[in-house]
Structure 1
Amino acid sequence: MLKSIQNKYSLILMFVFLFAVQCSKKEETFVKSTTPKDESIVTLTDAQLKNTPIEITSLSVKNISTVLKINGKIDVPPQNLVSVSVPLGGYLKNTNLLPGMHVNKGQIIAVIENPQFIQLQQDYLMAKSKLHFAELDYNRQKKLNQSQASSDKVMQQAQSEMNSQRIMMNTLAEQLQLVNINPKNLNSGNIRKSVPVYSTINGFVSKVNVNIGKFVNPSDVLFELINPNDIHLNLKVYEKDLEMLKIGQRFSAYTNTQPEKKYSGEIILISKDINTDGTADVHCHFEKYDQNLTPGMYMNAEIETETSFSNALPEESIVNFEGKDYVFVEEKKQTYRMIPVTLGESENGFIQIKNVEDFNNKKIVTKNAYTLLMKLKNTASEEE
């Protein structure tokens, strides 16, 4: 009986012990499962390190230029932009101009027809004939007056008529020249109803606003011509940045459609007038003209404003994840930590580091940094 009681007691003690051990294991498992894993640490095995060779470096002092990034558009000074019109108007009889075509100074770019041209030539020839008659009459009256055969009044009237006809003829001559008719070459045998329109500059056609057969008024602009010799870039610079700019400073510009194609030049004029939007106009001249640059085209520009020594890293050290920049720092052999980094300007493959204090005396990964990022994020995804 006593032995039976002892056996039961021993069995109870054994169950109590097993239960306590099991609870201890569960508690340990629970504690382990609740311990957070550092998701900024990545460790490579020997095999991974062999396939992904890692190179490290430290912050180094580099000469980094501060670059001012601004935008503007292609502009042409008024003296290089020509609006072609016909002072007396008329019908466009002929033209072969298209936007982008090159024109030479003195080249016929259009022919205008107008019955008014005929009337103008007629009036001029008649005024010229009347002037000749008035001159003869004046000379006759002058001789008669000298011999006392004519009064001073008659001679003065003849002189007045001669002067009036001369004024009339000269006025009509100027009107003829406005429509490109040379009055000196005009006679009764070469009166015409159409006149040529000439290009006044060497350049190219910017706009064509008319078509053949259309009637144009004196105020209408038929064509717009551009002399590209002084085409320039008009940049909009905020007032706070003006002090960093000076005449002769170099710039590099590019369009949104072809950012890889750079156009260089220099600043030629800095406006002293601040616009209502807080910007001032900075005029820049291109080093070499390109016919693809047309007035009104928007461009981005970069201007190196100053050069200073800065702590920098190779650009390949930087990785970007979810819109933020990071670098990997060596914690110990084959183990690396991802740390946020604040970037500045870049030049010649190096980029300025602003939060320098976070990387003092630390080794930073320069080669295969993105491979470490992929390994880190893939490992985190698998453990989830």
Structure 2
Amino acid sequence: MKINQNSIIIALFSVFCLGCGGQKQETEASTAKKENVEATDQVSLSDAQLKNAGIVVGSPETKSMYKTLNVNGVIDVPPENIYSVSVPMGGYISRMNLIPGMLVKKGSVLASVEDQQYIQLQQDYLTAKNRLKFSEADYVRQKMLNQTKATSDKIFQQTESEFNNQKVLVSALAEKLRLIGLNPARLNESNISKTIHIYAPISGYLSKVNVNTGKYVNATDVLFELINPGALHVSLTVFEQDAASLKIGQKIVCTTSSNPDKKYNATIHLITPNIENDRTTSVHCDLENFDQNLLPGTFLNAAIQLNGAEVQAVPDDAIVKWENQYYVFEEKAKGQFKMIGVETGASLNGFTAIKPKSTLQNIVVKNAYAVLMKLKNSGDEG
């Protein structure tokens, strides 16, 4: 069967025209969709709106950001910085006015104690001191007589021995007086006292007061407990799988549950080389800043900075979240902003690392959510 050549040409031309028409319609639809998407990602604000919303424009910054490990811990005091205060010789508490938590200065009187044995000790010292003067004079006299052979060597040796023994006794009694806080050089027969004072060995906080006025205390009793406030440190509990990523010198940012906005800085100085039965280890850190609100036993939340890298970062207030995606607003012209999608990274000290798809210049760094609300409200109105 013979096919008309003209008919074939006409048919092919018709198909081509139909294809071109469909492609044109698809291109027009795609362009309209793109323009519609771009329109929903852009917003314009007047000068008055910018001022009222407190919009601030700035540039992303290069920051050293860290991956952090979040752990828990407590404020602790090393044993060498906890001072237990006792009285060297027992007695009755005659005066004290202390409350746990008080700050006391080194050398201040914590309490006064009375007992008759203090009187006896002062009497023994003064008596021994007077006998020493007699023994010394007798020793000098016997030494001169012995040199002229007017007295035997035996008598001189006995006198010398008694003199030396009396010197030992006076020295020992003087040390006992110093032990209870009395100065033997100032002691005489007219100022013998039944009272001694207990002084603060350091400047610090009273963590425990175990006595009251009128109570009898023994030399073995702990009357007070003082804590050196400059020796507070952080004791963190870290799980076994995280311990390998820690090292001495790493920085830590701590907060308390009662005041999470207040940040305390610390540095790791000791990692316990042992895993406990609960599969954890203890990490001890030096506090760099602290105040009177930090007391031993205070619970802490801590973020350990593991590793650092130079990244592009923006203030936290520059990032908005919409439909589970993160965005920033780039200023295209005065008062004109476009919403740009970004990937967020680590956050530190009010900044968050971002990974934009293109280079960002000027962005909204403060009150970005105000721009988002304007954008979405404008879209709803359209």
TM-score, normalization by structure 2: 0.64
CA distance in 1, matches of 2:224, 2:40: 64
Query: Are 2:315 and 1:301 equivalent residues in the alignment?
Result: no
Q: How many residues align?
A: 280
The amino acid of 2:70's aligned partner reads: K
Residue in structure 1 matched with residue 69 of structure 2 by the alignment:
68
Structure-2 change in CA distance of 1:191 and 1:309 (3 Å): closer
Secondary structure at the counterpart of residue 190 of structure 2? coil
Check 1:194–1:307 CA distance in 2 against 1; reply closer, same or farther (3 A cut). Answer: same
1:226 and 1:302 mapped to 2: Cα distance?
Answer: 26
The structure-2 alpha-carbon separation of the partners of 1:113 and 1:130, relative to structure 1 and needing over 3 Å to count, comes to: same
State whether residues 315 and 351 of structure 1, in contact with CA within 8 Å, keep that contact through their aligned partners in structure 2: no
**Secondary structure class of the residue paired with 1:128:** helix
The residue that corresponds to 1:136 in the other structure is 137
- The code of the aligned residue for 1:153 comes to K
RMSD after superposition: 3.4
1:47 matched residue in structure 2 = none
Shift of the 275–136 alpha-carbon distance from structure 1 to 2, 3 Å rule, reads: farther
- Structure 1 contact 264–287 (Cα < 8 Å) conserved: yes
| 1:85 counterpart residue number | 86
Q: CA deviation at 1:215?
A: 1.1
- Partner Cα distance (1:227, 1:54) in 2: 61
Deviation at 1:75, TM superposition (A): 1.6
SS, match of residue 193 in structure 2: coil
Distance in 1 between residues matched to 2:255 and 2:297, nearest whole Å: 14
C-alpha displacement of 1:151: 1.2
In 2: Cα distance, 1:128 partner to 1:163 partner: 12
* Equivalent position of 1:283 in the other structure: 284
Letter in 2 for 1:185: R
Contact 2:145/2:151, CA 8 A, preserved across alignment: yes
- Structure-1 separation of matches of 2:64 and 2:231: 35
Give 1:182's aligned residue.
183
Taking a change above 3 Å as real, the CA distance of residues 257 and 124 of structure 1, as seen in their structure-2 partners, is same
- 1:168 and 2:169 are equivalent in the alignment: yes
5+ residue gaps in structure 2? 1-38, 43-62, 312-317, 327-343, 355-371, 377-382
Could you tell me which residue of structure 1 aligns to residue 121 of structure 2? 120
Aligned to 1:248: 249
TM-aligned CA deviation for residue 130 of structure 1: 1.7
Q: Report Cα offsets for 1:281-307 as digits up to 9, x if no partner.
A: 322122222011111222221112124
Given that 1:315 and 1:349 are in contact with CA atoms closer than 8 Å, whether structure 2 keeps it comes out as no
Change (3 A) 1:74 1:144: same
Q: Report if aligned partners of 2:264, 2:290 keep a CA contact under 8 Å in 1.
A: no
Question: Structure 1 residues 54, 305: closer, same or farther in 2, change over 3 A?
Answer: farther
Deviations 1:67-100 (A, max 9, x none): 2111222122233221111010211111222222
- 1:259 match: 260
Q: Deviations over 1:196-229 (max 9, x none)?
A: 1111212222221111111111111111112212
CA contact (8 A) 1:120 1:172 kept: yes
Give the 3-state SS of the residue equivalent to 2:281 in structure 1: strand
Aligned equivalents of 1:194, 1:175: Cα separation in 2: 15
Identity score, percent: 47
CA distance in 1, matches of 2:126, 2:346: 75
Amino acid at match of 2:297: G
Secondary structure (helix, strand or coil) at the match of 1:244 reads coil
Q: Is the 2:114–2:195 contact (alpha carbons within 8 Å) kept by the matching residues of 1? A: yes
**C-alpha separation in 2, matches of 1:63 and 1:263:** 19
CA distance in structure 2 between the partners assigned to 1:242 and 1:99 by the alignment: 37
Query: TM-score normalized by structure 1?
Result: 0.64
Aligned-residue offset at 1:155: 0.9
Partner of 1:147: 148
Q: Distance in 2 between matches of 1:258 and 1:102?
A: 22
What is the aligned partner in structure 2 of residue 337 from structure 1?
A: none
Structure 1 regions of 5+ residues with no counterpart? 1-52, 57-61, 320-325, 329-342, 353-366, 372-384
Aligned in 2, Cα 1:344/1:209: closer, same or farther, shift over 3 Å?
Answer: farther
Inter-CA distance 246–162: structure 2 relative to 1 (3 Å threshold): same
Taking structure 1 as reference, are residues 195 and 316 closer, same or farther at Cα in structure 2, changes over 3 Å only? same
2:4 counterpart residue number: none
Which amino acid counterpart does residue 199 of structure 2 have in structure 1? Y
- Which residue number in structure 2 is paired with residue 110 of structure 1? 111
- The match for 1:26 is none
Amino acid at match of 1:145: N
For the 8 Å contact 1:87–1:218, the answer to whether it is kept is: yes
